[in-house]
Each structure stands twice: as C-alpha cells, then as structure tokens.
A and B are shown apart, each in its own frame.
Chain A
C-alpha cells in the first residue's frame, strides 16, 4: 500500500506540470489582455504597452513560463495583476467559504440520501421509492438559482429567519451560529441535487446487493431486516456510493459559482469568474493548479477508502 501511495503521489507531479503548461498556453493564446483591462476606457495604446511591460507580458512565452514555474516550485504562485496580493493568499481567503459550502452540502446530502436510497431499494415501488423519484426529478431539473431564490423568498424575506446573502466565518464574532445561519439556505439549495444523485446511486447499489446470495444467507440466519440492510447490503454497496461522494466533493469545490452568486458567498467559484473575466493570469493559473491538486487528492482518498470498505480490494 505504501508503494501505491508513493506512486500515486509521484504521479501528481507530471499531472501538475502538464496542467500548468496547458493552462499557461491557453491563457496566453486566448483573446484578451489584462493590460488593456487595467488601462481602462480612456487609455491609449502607449499606456497599455507601458502596463504590459510593467507586468512582464512583453517577454516571450517561454521566458514568462520559466519565471512563473521557477517561482511556483518554490511555492510562490505570484501576485494578482489587479488585487496586488499574493495568489496563495487570495486562494486561502476564498477556500473557507467554499469548503464550508461544499462539505456542509455533502454532509447534508449524505445524511438524507443514503437512508433514503437504502429504504427505496429495500421497498422498491413503495412510497419512499416514489418520493425518491420525485426528489430526483426535481433535483436534476430545477436549476439551483431557482431553488435558491425560492428559499430566500420563503425563509429570508417572508419570515426573516435567515439572512439573504453573505458569509460569516465560523471564527468570526458571530461564531458557529452566524456561520450556520448564512449557510443553511445555500446548503439546502445545493443539497437537493446531491441528494438526488447520491440517493439514486445508493438505491441502485443496495438493490443489486439485496439480490446477492449472502443477503439470502443473512436472512436465513434470522438476522433482522435492519441488520441485513445496514451490515450486509449497504456495506457491500458502499464503494460506488463513496465514489460518487468523492466526485461530488471535487465538483463542489470548483463548481459552485451559481450558488455563490445567488447567496453572495465569496468563495473560489466567484473568484474564478472574476479573474477569468479580467484575465488575471497568475490567479487563474494558481486556481487551476489548486483545483487539479484537489481532484488528485480527493481521488486518492476515495481510492484509499476502498481498502476499508471492501477487504477484497488490495493495492
């Protein structure tokens, strides 16, 4: 297993190199010039060129990439062209809201979806199964901004229980209560989609497990249905469920732009949109690297979790 772990970690290096190369090239070759954005509406060509020089954008692409790579391997992802702050600081500032949103959403989704999916598989065609179908259709077909606005209208405007927008850090003056208050609606809005996804996978996996011989054996031994479901069916169906949860985490870290916009949560999604629209190259490169590392680490953790969930798997 140690060899597997080391091998996987070493494989990260070429992945990151290729990702950084491709992103660097795409950004430089795509239309758009950060110097023109910075210079503003009344600038002249001379002023734009002056800014390009001050940003080092007048140098050749290999030189620019070499400078960036040299610093990146030392952990220095450079400075934002616009915000005049280190890229790593900007990412760190935005990580907590996104992580809070993503992990809370998944925790809520797992808490609801796994029991729901298991029950649906256990009593196929029953009311829980039909409810799950309804949730799945709604979760997959109603856009998150619609759910978000409806929740805001009901709980923030009509009854004034929760804030409309914003994010409060759990370490801020309001503490955990303020943190949770600001996240309940975004969690709910996003969780519906993941409840649908995870519950459908759980239902399929558990229903398949329930047809296995060992389930018949367990029932023949006289085990209660709850034990059969929890100890035998669900455990044997866990691998695909954990895989989809892992994918969910990765998707949520990089893909919650709409939710962050609707609830004005200052996370990585809104930062990505801002810097892409402004062509803030160092921040875009830093973010893409961060997302790539996140995906690799999450995949690795998911793979490792298989060892504990299914003793037949060996690396």
Chain B
C-alpha cells in the first residue's frame, strides 16, 4: 500500500516536472538571441556617458558614418563617398541613399551635423577635431561638409572612432539635446530597433531587427562592411552573478555571456554545449596612475622608481589567473595596435628592485605614506591594487592602503586635496584597447595640468605633440609622433602600463559568426542553428 502510494507520488512528481518543462523557452527559438552583457544597461545615451555597455547598446540602435575594419582601417559606413579639397580644408561627404531612422524619417545631413556637434561637445577626440573645424555645411539633404581652419589628419579617424564616445548619428531633434543632458528616446538608423516599452533597467533590454536597415554589401569585417542581422529579436538579459550566468548558459537559457569570470575559464572550456571565444583580440590593459600634484609623486624620480618596481606578470597572474589570457606589453599603446612601440627605456615590465631603491634614495623619499586606493566592489580590477601595494613596499614605499567602493574611488580621485586631507597618490584601472590605442583618446595623455585627467600632469610637450599628431597625415607620420609621445610619457611617468589581457566570452556551441571587433560585442553576422 505504502509502496503503491509512493510510486503514485513519484509518477505525479514526474508529470509535474513534465508539465513544467512543456513550455518551450525563447532561447530554443533560432530567431531569438539572448545575450548577457558585462554590466547592467542603465543609461541609454552613448554620448552622455562613456560606459561600455551603453556604447554597445549604441551599436545596436545607431549607425556610424565610418567604421573600423579588422585591420584597424577606417571604412565608410553610412557615408557613400567622400572627397577632400586640394588644400585639404574642405571635406565633402555623401550619405548612402535610402538611410532611414526607426521613426520612418530619412537620415539627412542636418541630422549628421547635429549629431557630430553633440558628440564633439562630450568626446575628447571630438573636442580635438572641433579645434580644427571652422564650420559645417549642408549643401543638400544627402551631403554634408566639414570646413577646417587648417588641414587635419584625424577627420576620418575621429568620425570612425570605435569606442566611447562613438559619433553615432541620431535624428536632429534628439541630437539637439545638450551633451550634459540625457536624450529621452533611443531612435537611430542602426540594424536594431530598441523596444522602449520592454526595457526594464536591471532586467532586460529588447531589440528587434530593423527590416528597413540598409546594410552595406561588402563582407563584414570587425565593425565595417555588411551588418546582416539573422535574428528577429535580441534580448539583453541582465544577470549579475557569474555562477548564475554560467548556469543559464549551460542550461541553454542564454546564448552568450559577454564577460564570464576568469575563475570559470577552464570549467567553461570543458563544459559540453559551450564554446569560449575571444571577439576582442587586442584585449585590455591595466594601468597605474600617479597624482602629479602632491609629494612624493610630484617628483619625477619617485614616479620612475614606482614604475621600475612594477612587474606585469604578477598583475596578470593575480587578477586574471589564466596564463594564456595575459601578455606582457611594455608599450603604453596596447600591443597589436598600430602605434604600439616596445621601445620603453628603463621600463621593462619586470621589477627592477635595486634600481627603484636607488632612485628613491636619490629622490630623497623620506618614507611618507602614499595613499593607494582599492575599489573592493569592482571584481574586474579589485585585485590589482594588492599587487601594487606589495611591489611598492618591496622597494621601500610606505603604503597607506585605502579600500572603498568604486563610487567612492571615482569621487576621491577627482579631489585635488592633499592625500592626508582626503586626496590620493595612486589608483589603478583598466582600459579596453580601443580607448588607449591613440594618443588623442588616451586619458592618461591628457596633460593639461589642472584641466587634464585625474593626476593632473602638466606636460606641454605632450600636448604639443598631440596637436602635431592631429595635423599629421598618414600612418608613418602619426606613428613617429606617437612614439615621441610615449618616450615623454615614460620619461615623465604619466602612468605605468601593467600588462595586457584578454577577456573572452562564452557562447552556446550552436552559435557562430561572432565578429572580432575592438572590444564591442556586435549582434549582427551571428547565426544560431
């Protein structure tokens, strides 16, 4: 009797299980792609914020005038053809025919000009380009002109800038919003239409295929070429916990996890049904930044001593923990990018304790504590300050290790106060290669003193060379100037590069065609069986 009721209960439990699994999941539908981004998508304005997740959302919704191909060359995207006047001061661009925003209105040159003006008001490279621009002109709805005060070699590079802030093209009525205010609509002319009514911050963002998107016909290459969409619907699913991301991928509830935890790398590689891919070959770079305003790092010799104390291998081993994902790279420009240069003087990326100690003694360092900040809540960089502390102490620095959350750190690093009065001496962070592959986009080379980047280095030589770089024509000329800038960067210790690393993604094994890009996960070209 008991056995019979037990068997009946088991059967009922089985039926319940069967009924619960009877509903097909959306992920089973080959026309739906579910993607777990590296962070919560909260802000939808890719000009207002530099957050990478918002930039990636921008690539879904908006189109760009130019795009970077797999070789790092800038190719026309919305632009059909362009010409440069003999004096190189008038650039004339023709838009491709038939481009249309998601609200059904055609893309016009007025939209382009308004979008570029808003972008230039926020972006560093856009700001540099602005210094060359005399005015914009719109001879007709499909043509726009940029009239320069003097020739510049960065016009196309700036318009094809791949990472934050990207010069995305929006309707004029939206682009007229000041750069300091968020736009209220996400309407572009890109390959996906943003479903505003289904957007739940912290939960999911939904994009539908744009049936009217005019894709280019050239083969897809990184961000350039065709943007063929193979899904009716793409869902960005916000899952914070790395273990839950892994479980969801393994169970087939999602198709791609952009940035799984490094700790799961080997497990993912062994998991049936899952593949590990790397869509961003140039990867990221850890850096250490000094506060040039205050002692002891107002003394270049002390900064050099700190740089010589650094050993990149320890950073990779501690934060990444997977040898095959890290690489030593001494250049301030990421290795594998056009301006990378391993000619770095005394800085070898390996600790030189004896020389660092000698420099410290020469500089007269008296053992005053240096404030080193650590963001405890940012898993991607929370371990590297521990390595910095150890390496700095090894050469004789006395470290005042201050642990805080990232929001506190970014507020504190903006303070110019003395380190003993709420200021700081050192912080560490990471950059994707796309953001630091040019002297014009690398924040650490913003050496305008009080008006520069946190750390406030005042180095007119770097600023002058950056202006020369913006004027230079051709890769060889730019490369020469970029190397000269790097030499000064090491001489004055703007910052220390602490190693380059890859951050691979995990996808289901029925997914193919993920394009290699400069760090941007794009949803076109992907197929799912």
Q: Which residues of A pack against B, CB within 8 Å?
A: 31-34, 36-48, 50-51, 54, 82-85, 90, 93-94, 149, 152-153, 156-157, 159-167, 174, 177-178, 181, 261-264, 266, 270-271, 274, 277-279
Contacts and interface: CB of A to CB of B under 8 A. Distances in A.
B377 A277 contact: yes
Given A33-B407, A42-B50, A274-B202, A164 B251 contact: yes
Contacts, number: 149
Given A33-B407, A164-B253, A45 B43 contact: no
A122 B122 CA distance: 72
A278 B248 CA distance: 26
B400 to A, nearest CB: 16
A93 B200 contact: yes
Interface string B423-467: 000000101000100000001001000111110000000000000
B251 A82 contact: no
A166 B96 CA distance: 42
Given A44-B451, A45-B414, A277-B406, 17 more contacts: A36-B410, A36-B413, A36-B414, A38-B48, A39-B410, A42-B50, A50-B180, A149-B247, A152-B244, A153-B247, A165-B239, A165-B253, A166-B248, A262-B243, A263-B244, A274-B40, A279-B407
Contacts of B133: none
A200 to B, nearest CB: 28
A43 B247 CA distance: 37
B203 A266 contact: yes
A285 to B, nearest CB: 16
A31 B443 contact: no
Contact of A36 (B164, B407, B416): B407
Given A40-B50, A44-B453, A266 B40 contact: no
Interface size band for B: 35 or more
Contacts of B452: 44
A83 B49 CA distance: 12
Interface string B13-43: 0000101110101000000000000001011
A45 B456 CA distance: 10
A31 B411 contact: yes
Contact of A48 (B414, B416, B451): B414
A273 to B, nearest CB: 8
Interface in B471-494: none
Nearest to B204: A266
Contacts of B202: 94, 266, 270-271, 274
Given A32-B408, A32-B411, A157 B250 contact: yes
Interface of B: 17, 19-21, 23, 25, 40, 42-44, 48-51, 122, 124, 164, 180-182, 184, 200-203, 237-241, 243-244, 247-248, 250-251, 253, 377, 404-408, 410-414, 416, 429, 431, 435, 443, 446, 450-454
Given A42-B124, A82-B42, A164-B251, A264 B239 contact: yes
Nearest 10 A/B pairs, CB to CB: A40-B50, A33-B411, A266-B203, A31-B408, A32-B407, A42-B443, A36-B410, A161-B17, A164-B247, A264-B239
A46 B451 contact: yes
A36 B238 CA distance: 24
B251 A177 contact: no
Nearest to B452: A44
A88 to B, nearest CB: 14
B241 A264 contact: yes
28 contacts: A32-B408, A33-B407, A39-B50, A40-B49, A41-B429, A42-B443, A42-B446, A44-B454, A54-B180, A54-B181, A82-B43, A83-B43, A84-B182, A156-B247, A157-B251, A159-B17, A161-B17, A165-B247, A165-B248, A165-B253, A166-B237, A166-B248, A177-B19, A177-B23, A262-B243, A264-B239, A264-B244, A278-B42
Given A31-B404, A42-B453, A264-B244, A163 B50 contact: no
Contact of B251 (A94, A160, A178, A277): A160
Task: Label chain B's interface by main secondary structure.
Answer: loop
A193 to B, nearest CB: 19
Contacts of A156: 247, 251
Contact of B244 (A41, A44, A162, A165): A165
B238 A149 contact: no
Contacts of A166: 237, 248, 253
A178 B23 contact: yes
A161 B20 contact: yes
A174 B184 CA distance: 31
A58 B435 CA distance: 30
B244 A177 contact: no
Nearest to B240: A261
Contacts of A163: 25, 251, 253
B221 to A, nearest CB: 27
Given A33-B414, A44-B453, A93-B200, A160 B42 contact: no
A277 B202 CA distance: 13
A232 to B, nearest CB: 32
A161 B351 CA distance: 54
B135 to A, nearest CB: 24
A266 B41 CA distance: 13
Contacts of B243: 149, 262
Nearest to A149: B243
A181 B18 CA distance: 12
A281 to B, nearest CB: 11
A153 B244 CA distance: 11
Nearest to A258: B241
B180 A36 contact: no
Given A41-B431, A83-B43, A270 B240 contact: yes
Q: Which of B404, B405, B410, B411 has the most CB of A within 10 A?
A: B410
A36 B50 contact: no
Q: Which of B408, B416, B451 has the most CB of A within 10 A?
A: B408
B407 A41 contact: no
A278 B44 CA distance: 16
Nearest to B43: A82
Contacts of B453: 42, 44
A262 B20 contact: no
Contact of B201 (A37, A90, A178): A90
A94 B40 CA distance: 15
A40 B51 contact: yes
A90 B406 CA distance: 23
Nearest to A279: B407
B94 to A, nearest CB: 32
Q: Which of B44, B240, B446 has the most CB of A within 10 A?
A: B240
Nearest to B163: A42
A111 B65 CA distance: 62
A42 B49 contact: no
A252 to B, nearest CB: 19
Contacts of A50: 180
A47 B237 CA distance: 31
A261 B241 contact: yes
Given A161-B17, A181-B20, A262-B244, A84 B44 contact: yes
B247 A162 contact: no
B171 to A, nearest CB: 18
B241 A83 contact: no
